[in-house]
Amino acid sequence: MPGTGNHTTIIADLDGTLYRQFPVRVAMMAEMLLHFWRFRDFLIVRKYRKLYEAGIEEEQRYASLPASAREVIREWMIDRPLKYLKRFRNDGLCEQLNAAMDSGITVVVYSDYPVKEKLEALDFHPSYAFSAEDAGCLKPDASGIIRLLQGINVKAEECLVIGDREDKDGALAAAMGCDCVIVGGEDSLTSQFLRYCVAGGTAFVVDFGSLWLMTEVCGLYYILSAALAFILGLTCNYLLCVHWVFRGRRLGNAWAEFAAVAIIAVVGLGLNELIIWAFAEVIHTHYLIGKIVSTAIVFFWNFFARRYLVFRKSA
């Protein structure tokens, strides 16, 4: 537990702080894949998240979504994830926060999303719990939480913010004029790499399956089908990278970002084709063996090139 010093109150983030968000997201992705026929539901969830994080009012959010949206959001964003939270709870931090409360320190859980049911699932009971709906704004806007703290006679400058995101929790603390500790950050190399492995595995299934289907079933020349399959896998991988794997953006212009990703992809495609050709025509082994080798090499090329050239936050 980070030292509380002279702090009278700890403001703890929930998602990614009180529980490990990465394995929960992996579990939810697995559930989504097992319910692939409900793809429309996933599009609803994605659009809802964007509207929510844009600060759109609740009634306006649902007005722009299908009539079934309330049930879909309830199922996929609240009910289904709850069963995983206790399993991946950050026990060490929760125990230390409980010890802090026993010593007289006020612990406030503050999240952009509803907190009540998640805290019950985690079996964690802070002094106070607030969400963005209570505050009337999203992180890192500090006006809402400062008002809520005033209501419980807590001064913002006496707080210590604990969270997992510098761009949200760190910025919130800066706006409040108090200290902050970032724990279990999901933007670390290890966390990004693990998420990229999941994204890469999903893209590989799309790529490899498409290659086999177009070559063996449709009768396309393997070099052509390899290029088409690569593009399909790349599209799947890129969408997951943008919406899940990476948070930072080095390039502010979407077209410039797309161009950078395209250049990286072209290099990867060249490596992919060269390796498959070498295995089939030079080493005289099956082209799918070459595909497995090229997948590993291109995987690392894509990850590090994207992380450091495209999706890294500007200094």
pLDDT of residue 127: 96
Alpha carbons 276 and 289: distance in angstroms, whole number: 8
**Average of per-residue pLDDT across 40-56:** 86
**Higher pLDDT pick, 180 / 254:** 180
pLDDT of residue 187: 57
What's the pTM value of the predicted model, to 2 decimals? 0.64
Q: What is the pLDDT of residues 19-29, one digit of tens each?
A: 988 788 878 87
pLDDT of residue 312: 65
Q: What is the pLDDT of residues 110-141, one digit of tens each?
A: 999 999 999 999 999 999 999 998 999 999 99
**Average of per-residue pLDDT across 60-85:** 92
Distance of CA 179 to the CA centre of its chain: 25
pLDDT of residue 295: 85
pLDDT of residue 94: 96
Is the separation of the CB atoms in 94 and 75 below 8 Å? no
**Average of per-residue pLDDT across 271-282:** 91
**Average of per-residue pLDDT across 194-198:** 80
**Average of per-residue pLDDT across 252-267:** 76
Assigned CATH for 9-20+89-182:
3.40.50.1000
pLDDT of residue 210: 92
- For the cut 60, the answer to whether the pLDDT of residue 3 exceeds it is no
Alpha carbons 240 and 201: distance in angstroms, whole number: 11
Instruction: Give the full edge-to-edge strand order of the sheet including 106-111.
Output: 128-131, 106-111, 9-12, 159-163, 179-182
The ranges assigned to domains in the chain are 9-20+89-182, 21-85, 189-309
Alpha carbons 189 and 253: distance in angstroms, whole number: 24
pLDDT above 70 covers a percentage of the chain that reads: 91
Summary mean pLDDT of the chain: 86
**Region for residue 83 given its phi and psi (left: phi exceeds 0; alpha: psi -120 to 50; beta: otherwise):** alpha
Q: How wide is the angle at C-alpha 314 spanned by C-alphas 111 and 203, nearest 5°? A: 75
H/E stretch holding 12: strand 9-12
Distance of CA 146 to the CA centre of its chain: 27
Q: Is 27 exposed, middle or buried (0-12, 13-18, 19+ CB in 10 A)?
A: middle
3-state helix, strand, coil split of the chain in percent (to 5) is 65, 10, 25
Question: Which residue shows structure tokens 């049911």?
Answer: 117
Amino acid at 315: A
**Higher pLDDT pick, 185 / 107:** 107
Which of these, 170, 150, 183, 162, lies nearest to 4 by C-alpha position? 162
